[in-house]
Structure 1
């Protein structure tokens, strides 16, 4: 029910905003004209993909919110707390922990990560969260366990609504996105990539580019029109553009790609979701 209502909400909003995605526009970030053939196909593919990803993000968020509520009664340590964290990992997270008000990990799951109990949580995440104690999703970080993940953090309140600590759960964005996007790409002419607002690539149909910084990695330096579109994507929540991309290592064959993008995210941490295809 949650994901269905999210899909309907996002679909209605994007249908209202489709002109801002470029359906009625002729220009782009580079001043060139885009093909207008089948623009509705790529725009509606983006619409459906955004709804699916945002719905799944909301579902993950709701799981952590529910864990925080259950921990309010169970406490942050002990077997009950451990089982609550285990249920998060069984739902798709790769690690979860309860945290004291001072930022110390109290209970950690799964079992192979329990050695981290008693250590201090990542200070970039904790300092961002503790300022407001509001639900929070981090940008991608390298965990001490060696994984790259985003972390969802929720405050845990006592029955009297006093702050007693937090619960956090880690999620690799590339795996999360791959499970949603890859099946939908089958049989389509599209590619998909997702970036943070700092330009880091969280997901790409070409997985070799995941983790790279779009605007600064040397791999992308030969593609100024791609960099122009990337800057525009970071600055604007939705839009369209085009860029030239070489097909060979000798830079002798290139093609023009059209790109449409929009935004997904949680708690103010936005990801830009882009769908591309070869221009007709």
Structure 2
């Protein structure tokens, strides 16, 4: 990557002499940008293919051929240091081990690359979105072959956000330039703006961009012109040598396109948005049950119901069917299938449903993956309207809150956090505080003004106050003014607190 930085720096120096970035209505781009693109393309290709080559070598070891996970793990740990991601060893039944979790009790058998991998083919850049972590990845994998058959596979789910940041730093493009990478299906694998990762140009792009990409996918390199965001863009493109990925480097006529103005964060704006988001998920569940009412008496019908909800709501981590005895019978996505058949009747929200079949919005709890979670559940009825189990959606509150905050301007002296009425922190910009109990956690024990105001917040749906606590990222104590409001779903209330440090300079 240091070599890439040096080469790119030289390219940018030469391009500045040649009028780099100047407004130019000609179709051809300054030649130095071909070097920038070529260097970035080969650097990205080398990074991913080097990982694949290392996975292939690991697959040839005696540890891999004997299924010795602890031995395999030593090799994968070294790879993880080179390129961040989830490094794993997967078995023919889809169960797998990962460096960070050892045996995961999750299953990859339904992944789009799985059958091809266990037919003996390598995987090169297959897109994967983890609903539990929110991470977008590209899978590189190589089969383990012994005795003429595939007995396992080594894989790496490489984090695309990390690659995006690394390429942005390395390319250091000035205003008026952008870049992105698409695969052969038109799916954006990388982009200067990470929000575009995994968007598909053929469904979300302008007509001229769609036409340009369609032409690019038929060639290894060339030029294209397209319009997007109200600006004409002149682009060079080049295919990665070993992956079916194409990188596009574009000059935006008229310079940098300004993003839409963001509204200032306020409870008046945010609370209705959060309430709407929760209510929408709840309504999606309710409507899906009503729409599929006749099909919920079969496994296929129930699975269609669950997968349909998953496809509509990105904040939903899993959707499951729990039967009348409290057994988790079916779950989507299928990577969680190992938990099917588990007795979860003792879980608070399940027990509440079994006692009184009506919609439930659970308290926060720590999911097995380690994140804070809540459940929205609705009962199912048979044709005679007798209780026939329930559909349970696990949500990660962060994934409900963060997309809303992204569209708001948050001044540095402001913070927003969310608390249950029992003091459990549902959301906080400091992830270390999520899931803590305000009234009993040692972190808050020495801050009496916070505890006092916290009890008032828990007791009253709206209000204002003041307390002392640490400044973000610091041990220094600061005064914080607070105002709060409430969102509510099925008798469960969240207090939404907006704080301001009035004396911060």
TM range (shorter): 0.7 to 0.9
Aligned-partner Cα distance in 1 for 2:360–2:404: 22
Query: Any residues of structure 2 matched to 1:85-234 within 5 Å, and which?
Result: 85-90=306-311, 91-92=313-314, 93-123=316-346, 124-144=348-368, 147-187=371-411, 189-234=413-458
Change (3 A) 1:147 1:120: farther
**2:407 counterpart SS class:** helix
Which structure shows the higher strand fraction? 2
Aligned-partner Cα distance in 2 for 1:103–1:262: 35
Q: Contact 1:242–1:259 (CA<8 Å) still a contact in 2?
A: yes
Which structure shows the higher helix fraction? 1
Which residue does the alignment assign to 1:78? 299
Change (3 A) 1:202 1:187: same
Aligned-partner Cα distance in 2 for 1:53–1:135: 19
Q: Contact 2:321–2:390 (CA<8 Å) still a contact in 1?
A: yes
Aligned-partner Cα distance in 2 for 1:182–1:227: 29
Aligned-partner Cα distance in 2 for 1:246–1:146: 25
Higher relative contact order (CA 8 A, sep 6+): 1
Q: CA deviation at 1:277?
A: 0.3
Q: CA deviation at 1:187?
A: 4.1
Larger of the two Rg values belongs to structure? 2
- Deviation per residue, 1:22-71 (Å, 9 max, x gap): xxxxxxxxxxxxxxxxxxx99x8112111000000000101111232234
Aligned-partner Cα distance in 2 for 1:100–1:255: 51
Aligned-partner Cα distance in 2 for 1:203–1:248: 15
Q: Contact 2:372–2:426 (CA<8 Å) still a contact in 1?
A: no
**2:408 counterpart SS class:** helix
Aligned-partner Cα distance in 2 for 1:59–1:187: 28
Q: CA deviation at 1:249?
A: 9.6
Q: Contact 1:67–1:167 (CA<8 Å) still a contact in 2?
A: no
Q: Does residue 273 of structure 2 align to residue 49 of structure 1?
A: no
Q: Contact 1:98–1:168 (CA<8 Å) still a contact in 2?
A: yes
Q: CA RMSD in A?
A: 2.4
Q: Contact 1:77–1:106 (CA<8 Å) still a contact in 2?
A: no
What runs of 5+ residues in structure 1 fail to find an aligned partner?
1-40
Q: Does residue 501 of structure 2 align to residue 275 of structure 1?
A: no
> What is the total number of aligned residue pairs between the two structures?
238
Q: CA deviation at 1:195?
A: 0.6
**1:95 counterpart SS class:** strand
- Give the alignment's TM-score, normalised by structure 2: 0.44
Aligned-partner Cα distance in 2 for 1:176–1:69: 24
**1:165 counterpart SS class:** strand
Aligned-partner Cα distance in 2 for 1:192–1:100: 38
